[in-house]
């Protein structure tokens, strides 16, 4: 089976997670500068079979699109054009950054490590993907 890739899109950094080939477990892959995201995706997808890309789509508490969605929507459109054979899905990512931070605390990471925003983005992408995988079971 091909993998599922998850993207926690940010203005500066983007967290990326990937499933195992059986699509059971989400693993944090990396965090890349958003300016280099397309190049990273081209390289990764050329090396690994990817069946689906999940993109976190943040909403407000009022269930309206958040401010960053103005940048996510054109990114997703270009992604669909760039990889027409790969299904792309938007999923609600409310509270994933807070959940990621709490997971880091629960995992025993020291305060210095928890201040690493790149790690938070990667863990957020992992949470987005794991929730998606669990919802499909």
Contacts of 71 (CB under 8 A, 6+ apart): 9, 11
Predicted confidence band at 83 (pLDDT cuts at 50, 70, 90)?
A: very high
Domains in the chain, please, with CATH?
3-135 (3.30.420.140)
- Whether pLDDT at 100 is above 60: no
pTM of the model: 0.84
pLDDT at 7 over 70: yes
What pLDDT, in 10s, does the model give residues 30-81? 999 999 999 999 999 999 999 999 999 887 667 777 778 889 999 999 999 9
CA distance 115 to 105: 11
Please tell me the distance from the alpha carbon of residue 44 to that of residue 136, in angstroms, as a whole number.
24
């Amino acid at each position: 089976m091909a993998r599922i890739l998850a993207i926690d899109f940010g203005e500066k950094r983007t967290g990326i997670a990937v499933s195992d080939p059986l699509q059971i477990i989400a693993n944090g892959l990396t965090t890349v500068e958003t300016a280099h995201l397309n190049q990273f995706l081209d390289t990764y997808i050329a090396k690994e079979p990817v069946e689906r890309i999940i993109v976190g789509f943040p909403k407000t508490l009022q269930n309206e699109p958040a401010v960053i969605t103005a940048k996510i929507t054109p990114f997703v459109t270009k992604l669909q054009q760039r990889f027409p054979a790969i299904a792309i899905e938007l999923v609600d990512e409310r509270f994933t950054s807070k959940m990621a931070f709490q997971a880091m605390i629960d995992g025993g990471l020291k305060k210095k490590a928890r201040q690493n925003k790149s790690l938070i983005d990667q863990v957020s992408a992992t949470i987005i993907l794991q929730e998606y995988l669990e919802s499909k079971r």
